Amino acid sequence: MMESKVAQKIDFDKIEDILPLILKNPQNKYSFTLNFEDFISICINLNNQIVDFHVFVVLNGNWALAKFSKSGCVFRIFKKSKKGKIFRIAEDDFKVIKPFTEIHGLLSNFGYLDFLKEELSINGLQLIVFFIVCSLIFIILWLKIFFSISFLQTINQSLISIGAIFFSVYILFTFSQTIGNKFSNIYYKKGIPQRYQLIDKYITRTTSISIWGSLLSLLVIDILIKENILACNLYANTILSYLAIFLSSTSVTILVFSFFYIQDYYFNRIKNLSDSEISMEILVSLSEDEEKK
């Protein structure tokens, strides 16, 4: 179960205030904000009192929008813990009311670990090979210059600068893309925009990991240089040097992966959306031509 790291202040409506309003005049267009458990309780209650009762839900990650078949009311739903944490809402959460519920949107949880697993299954071999090659190059350079790790200082400083610029530009780019793109209802029903937004979020998170890896590597290098560990303890120097090489190689691998991943990701994203729109137009056109005949 995924949860938000930031607690949110949300004023929830009370069940005892909602049920009388719906039962008295179902067609009134009220808007309510409910905790998930209270929404489920209302659904069960109304299903026992209203014939042919149905619930329509659109999942949007950390919240959902719902409407009843015989009511004008709209419900904004959050799954909130007692400590104020907001949990992601998925299709499986509606098992109790599944028989009379129609659910659309991002149906399953797609967390950061799911993103990493998905990408490792596709690009894992290339990433491992690149990481090994990068590590070997750093080790050879380290041995060539008599166990001096200072060259990694320049590399990591450059990685931090490149990663910070990339991070800033990518956030601005994704923000402009989100504002400019308007997806059709078909895409929202399938949860495609929500998934794209999560991937954008996970790419920026991965880039930030690269920056933190470089910062940790610089910290290790600083300890090696300032404390002059080589003169004091060869074993400790070797361990810390390999740690700096490992962190540097990881940062380089992640940053390079982010660069190349974004190229393929956005190209395929634009292509898939445009192909879907054009294909749909072709099918509609063919259907209209068939009806004219």
102-139 confidence digits (pLDDT tens): 888 877 778 888 888 888 888 888 889 999 999 999 88
With beta carbons less than 8 A apart as the criterion, state whether 65 and 103 touch: no
State the DSSP code for 8: -
Q: Does pLDDT of 8 surpass 70? A: no
Partnered with residue 74 across adjacent β-strands are: 31, 67
Stated pTM of the model: 0.70
212-268 confidence digits (pLDDT tens): 988 888 888 887 777 665 556 677 778 888 888 899 999 999 888 888 887 777 777
- The CA distance from 233 to 81, in Å, is 51
Residue 67 exposed, middle or buried by CB count within 10 Å (0-12, 13-18, 19+):
middle
**What is the residue-wise DSSP string for 104-173?**
EE--S---HHHHHHHHHHHHHHHHHHHHHHHHHHHHHHHHHTTT--THHHHHHHHHHHHHHHHHHHHHHH
- The CA distance from 292 to 36, in Å, is 49
17-61 confidence digits (pLDDT tens): 777 777 777 677 778 888 888 888 888 888 888 778 888 898 887
